[in-house]
Chains A and B, each alone.
Chain A
Amino acid sequence: MADMTSPAPAASAQNGHPLVSVRGLTKEFRTGHVTVPALCGVDLDVRAGEVALFMGPSGSGKTTLLSILGCILSPTSGSLRIKGREAAGLPEKELAVLRLAHFGFIFQNYNLFRTLTAAENIQVALDLKGIRGQEAQDRVTAALEAVGLADKARMRPEDLSGGQKQRVAIARALAGEPEIILADEPTAALDSENGRLVIGLLRQLALERGRGVVIVTHDPRILEFADRTVSIEDGRITQGGVPA
């Protein structure tokens, strides 16, 4: 167990605050008269320069927690701090600003734009941040080179393999230089070799740049890439949330 929760190799200077910090977090879903408690009192910190894996059975609340960390979903109660600033209860408009400023997302199904080329998919992420023109071009090229797809810049997602698509998605998530990368089952649609390749790349790029990375996974083969494993069961963190 101890090897799984070994401290992060502090790759970047930290300002004392964890990138994301939650305390006493709960989330309930209401559908009609039924209330589903998805998270019950979660405490967790995500720090720069570490890769944290969320593991747990289906329905345990991993995606819900990841969505709240990424300001995509609002918690029912509890505290959510992004770089020390309270974000729980903010309106969607301000949450969107936080997402744009601090987060990069990677999805199980890549969520690339079908009608755009690999390069353009990355360009969109930059465009959202107001990065355009030559700087955008340079960053797109660099991002594609970093994931080893410089020669696929003009290809559409449908002409890329699953692994290549997920590498484009990683390039897109990293191009805007977010501090935190959140990925939900990024290898679920990939074979094991591609899965390892993609996670290895994600870890390498993120840590080189001192990012914090959270990966939700069922995939035990990628455990070796984790600095920390957080176990979630029935909406509770049973291991690895906050160092005692």
Chain B
Amino acid sequence: MYTEKVMDHFSNPRNVGEIENPDGVGEVGNASCGDIMKIFLKVENNIIQDVKFKTFGCGAAIATSSMVTELAIGKTLEEALELTNAAVAEALDGLPPAKMHCSNLAADALHEAIKNYKESGQ
């Protein structure tokens, strides 16, 4: 049911972990829906230098988290804000229909982290 790319990112997730003293942190989801994604950012000169994630969730949740970190690194904050959940799913060659809503929140988590960075006044 999952594409090869999803299985690749699920079994070898990129950028797992936390960043010490991150510039921004974003979290979406909750335990009741079964998915929680947390994104940590390092920003320099308006460019995302590093992203790490921690995720509680199904295969799609872990794969989209991993993919969004790859897509975001090196982007400006403006570019990163334009990344959508749909674009993340597309980069994984698609997700099963049932997963498009519940487990496809990685871009939202990234946007939350950027918002947190901006609000913390840096």
Q: Do they bind each other?
A: no
